[in-house]
Each structure stands twice: as C-alpha cells, then as structure tokens.
Structure 1
Amino acid sequence: MTILAFHSPKGGAGNTLVTAGIARRFATRGRTVTAYDMTRQDSLKLFFGLLPDQKPVRTDGEPMVVRGVRLVGNFTTQRERDMAIEQIKTTPADELALVDIASADWEGWEQIHRFADLSICVVEPNPIGLASLTRLGEQIPVTEREDIAIVLNKLDDRRKLSRHCHRFMKQLFDNQFLGSIRRDEAANEAIARFESLAEYAPNSVIISDIDALIDSIHQRLVRTHKSRDPINSRAVQSAERQTV
C-alpha cells in the first residue's frame, strides 16, 4: 500500500486541487486510487465534476468511482471520520490512498501523518506561505523532516517574488522539494462548469506539472523506504513493481 497525506499549514494554498490532480493522474497511469476528503468543506468532489450537493456514493451506498478514482468523503460525524481513518490504514498492498486534510485540522493531520508513507505540504510562493512552514517543525526543523515533502502551488513566472520564492524553496528544501504547479485560471473555470480540469482544459500546465510531481513522488517513496527496511515495506514493494 501507499498512503499520501496532503496538508497545508495555511488555508487557500490549493491543497485540494493538488490532491485531486495527483489522484486523477495516478489513475490514468493504471493505479488503483482512493481519494479521501477529510475536510469539512467536502470540496474534493468538485474537482471531479460532481455538483456541490452531490454525494460521492452510489445508490447501493458504495463510494463512486469518478474519472478512475474512488471517492470517499462527506463525513458528518467524528465516528465516520474515525472509521475512514481505520479504513485508510488497511489500504490493500497494491492500492494507493490519497488523503486531503484541512489546514485547520492539525489533530487529523497528526493522526494520519503517523502512518502515512509520505506527508505532502502544499504552500503558495509568498512570504506568508513560507512563514507557515514553521508550524510543521515541532521540535525538529522542517528541513530535517524526512517524512515531509513540499509542493509549491500557484507559481506565477511573471511575478518576481513568485520566482524568487520558488528558487529559495528549491535551495532550502533540496530533496524535500517535490516540485511546483503553475497558476492556471482554467482550474477555477473547470469547477464553475462542473467539469474536471482534464476535460475542460486538457493542455493545462497544471496537468503537465502534476505529471512531473508524480515522478518525484515515486522516486521519493523508493528512496525513503530503501533507507529504512525495504524487505518489510509493502509501499516500496508496490512502488517498484509498477511504473508510477
């Protein structure tokens, strides 16, 4: 199994967009993917073309598979959330689970972070986004947290500060830095039309950027688990059997 936890220490960074995009692109590469929406907004489904009031469940109560991704969400009680977390823990060895965690839900992040194969932190290229990373450090600086990887979202090459933040983060985080996703208004336009980005704007730079991120995630998982005990790691066994 492979479990990826997505969380941003600051709201509005685009954590859900990144989760949905990576889930969809993994599915197009043949992976069996389940995406969990642990937020109160229940907005992950919007990135798959569902309506705001549409529940991601079939008539028989089973989760819907949309664009190749099994969607699980709409948790209204703590008991439902706890059951979902237990379900994530038992993800089959050959499957991939992605978990979208709200920025304010630090308890949920800590809970899922403990057993996730990789925690991916999404930040924006601005001073507030960079400053928010200090909240992840606990007693250990973020730059020394091998269990955390960084993704820079909403990069705008036309903006000097955005470019400088990108360069600074690549140098500061080195191997922790997975990559960046460029800003594209097509992402919001797709949601407004209740379509997925891949259908509305198949040539969007976001899609190509996410493809590059997936390659980085694969390399990071293999490297991380080999540094531990690859014999007992189902995640690295699954990663090495498949071309992600």
Structure 2
Amino acid sequence: MVKAIVAPSILASDFADLGCQCKKMYANNADWLHVDVMDGHFVPNISLGMPIISSLRKAIPKEYNEKNENIKFFDCHMMVSEPEKWVAEIAKAGGDQYTFHYESTKDPVKLIELIKSHGLKAACAIKPGTDVDVLFDLGDKLDMALVMTVEPGFGGQSFMANMMPKVEKLREKFPQLNIQVDGGLGKGTIGHAATAGANVIVAGTSCFTASNPTELIQYFKDEVNKNLKAKGCYTEN
C-alpha cells in the first residue's frame, strides 16, 4: 500500500510536554510519530533513548484498526553505531519500525532479518553522500527506504533538493515501496519531494510550530497523493 504518510519528528517537540504534544499530532491527523535516536557516535548529537520511547508508548498505547494496523505507529530512526545492539530494546520499548543507516552496518541483509525476527518493520536510510544504488539490492526485503534530505543529527536544517533524483530512482525501481524523506520539509519544499515520488514525509519543525497542524498535514497528504496518482502507484488498501 503506497499512499501519503505524515510522520512528525518529535525531535522538534517541547520535551517538557512530550506526551501531550505527541497526542496532539495524532489528533491533528498525523499517521506516525518519527522518533530520532542518536548516540553521539554515528552522528554528532545525543537524543532520545529507549526509556523515553517506553514512557511514550505507555502514554500512547498501540491501537489497531479493522485492518490490524497499529494507528499509533512509532517510526524509530536509529542514527547509531552498531544498530544490531538495539533491535531487541526498541521492540521491547514499543517501537513499530526500525530504520538503520546503511553506513552503520557491515551486513544490512542480516540486520533486516534480525529486525523482522523481533516483529518490527525494517527500513534502511542513506545519508546525503551515499549513492542510492546501495539500496537496490535491499528494496525487496525492506518495508521502507529513507533518503535523508539533510545531514542527519540535528533538526531545523534546510531541505536539500538535490537529493530528489535518489527518490525518483527508488520510486521507478520500487513503485510499491514506502519511500521516506527526512529533513527540511514544509509547505515550500513538499512539492519537490512529492513530485519525486516520496510518500512518507517526516516534518518536525513545520508540524510542531504550525498554527494549524491539521491544515498543514492535510496539505502534505494532498500533495503526495496527487503525485502518486499521477505516477500510477497510489493504492488506498
């Protein structure tokens, strides 16, 4: 199923009011929460860890629709060295998807198998300097591919439009794969991502600071779905 998915990045939230702010995003029609985990080694920043994810899951329990899909989905973006170490912990904490960086592991196929063995969806991210071709042999094994549109590690950076050819190549090769973009997404840049074929939109600062988050999130979805339909790869079910 390929359709618009909006995943506000909680890195841009007010951590003093994290639970309430995250509930507000779901109330404003967000599909997922994007949870950035950074260890200070793979990227030069330290952020959320397993105790926070676990606490957030207690505040926002999993909730399933008639298709048995968790509609309180936690998309965990693991910007960490040795990502193999944390798969079991993320599953235990209540994560739903484990996104590792291609640059952080020597055996991505084995890691994908490990992630799925813990009941998590498996996704692989690439930094701006990594060629998209590295994902071609993994695409059929993945639930999602993430093309970073900023250098990973900090929120609030400017969108890198020159990453869009990577998205275009992935969409052409994998028409039914979730393709995520992360970094600098807002009303002024969503068109680039949507036209290229991205369907999973990570937006932190724009969502959490919006005067009307519902309107903004719907705008993202409309732009994405319009372009997916034009490419003939939009599917509702």
Q: TM-score range by the shorter chain?
A: 0.3 to 0.5
- Larger relative contact order (C-alpha < 8 A, sep ≥ 6)? 1
TM-score by length of 2: 0.41
Which structure dedicates a bigger proportion of its chain to helix? 1
TM-score by length of 1: 0.40
